Structure 1
């Protein structure tokens, strides 16, 4: 009897070990925007039930330029860009579990936050910090992680 429990225990341990050894599939998604077809990064990377989006700035991808109007307008465009990528993958802003926000000027926090809170009503985890400069002369960049 003890021998059969020992064998059963070893089989259970072996099955857990083999489950852990299976590498999760990683999918690197190209952009749905034709203007971003040749960028040197993936628009989103999918693995283990999560979608990791690349950082977005307040660029209007149809026009190819940063929107005018300052931090409020850029924040709105950034989130609309994120929303478009999520929708392309059958997700929404409600599926976002983590945001990382980079501001060019931390003094823009209040103006950014007033726009941000109208979009992210589920209140995902968030990290916000300022950096000396951002790509494309942007005032803000946001990247997100969404649960599938």
Structure 2
């Protein structure tokens, strides 16, 4: 058993080294000047994949949540995702995975009415509810996109 563990660790090290040599990771700065000092990247790029940080329904010009509940916040969240993607010459059609976090699972149907209008290619998706989203938001969406 000990030999198998050693072999696995060696193979993992070789695989990690191989990946590091082939793939460079780019931590992109935000296109929003007001987010320049945020402790995270709006997007991290590796090869042809873009991992976007979660977006909420915040109007970035005022740095406040939009009013109007889950519908308005969902629309603004998608606009914010589109802005980050556009900054990297991508669009919603490039999204291959969405993770959706709702503050109230009872908002699922309303959120989904908006969501299906924008993600027509049907990327894979995980949706769940959690309390205490950033800025007291009703929704947060993070995506992975492919160039």
Please, what TM-score do these two structures have when normalized by structure 2? 0.86
Segments ≥4 residues shifted beyond 2 Å: 19-23
Residue of structure 2 in register with 1:74 after alignment: 73
* 5+ long unaligned stretches in structure 2: 1-14
Q: Output one character per residue of 1:109-131: Cα deviation in whole Å (capped at 9) or x when no partner.
A: 00000000000010000000000
How many residues get paired? 131
Residue of structure 2 in register with 1:8 after alignment: none
Residue of structure 2 in register with 1:60 after alignment: 59
- Whole-angstrom distance in 1 between the partners of 2:141 and 2:18: 33
Residue of structure 2 in register with 1:132 after alignment: 131
**How far did residue 48 of structure 1 move?**
2.2
Please, what TM-score do these two structures have when normalized by structure 1? 0.85
> Residues 5-24 of structure 1 correspond to what in structure 2 (within 5 A)?
20=18, 22-24=21-23
RMSD: 1.4
Residue of structure 1 in register with 2:26 after alignment: 27
Residue of structure 1 in register with 2:117 after alignment: 118
Residue of structure 1 in register with 2:41 after alignment: 42
- Whole-angstrom distance in 2 between the partners of 1:135 and 1:60: 14
* 5+ long unaligned stretches in structure 1: 1-16
- Whole-angstrom distance in 2 between the partners of 1:98 and 1:137: 24
**How far did residue 23 of structure 1 move?**
4.0
**How far did residue 20 of structure 1 move?**
3.5
Name which one, 1 or 2, has greater alpha-carbon Rg.
1
- Whole-angstrom distance in 2 between the partners of 1:58 and 1:32: 17
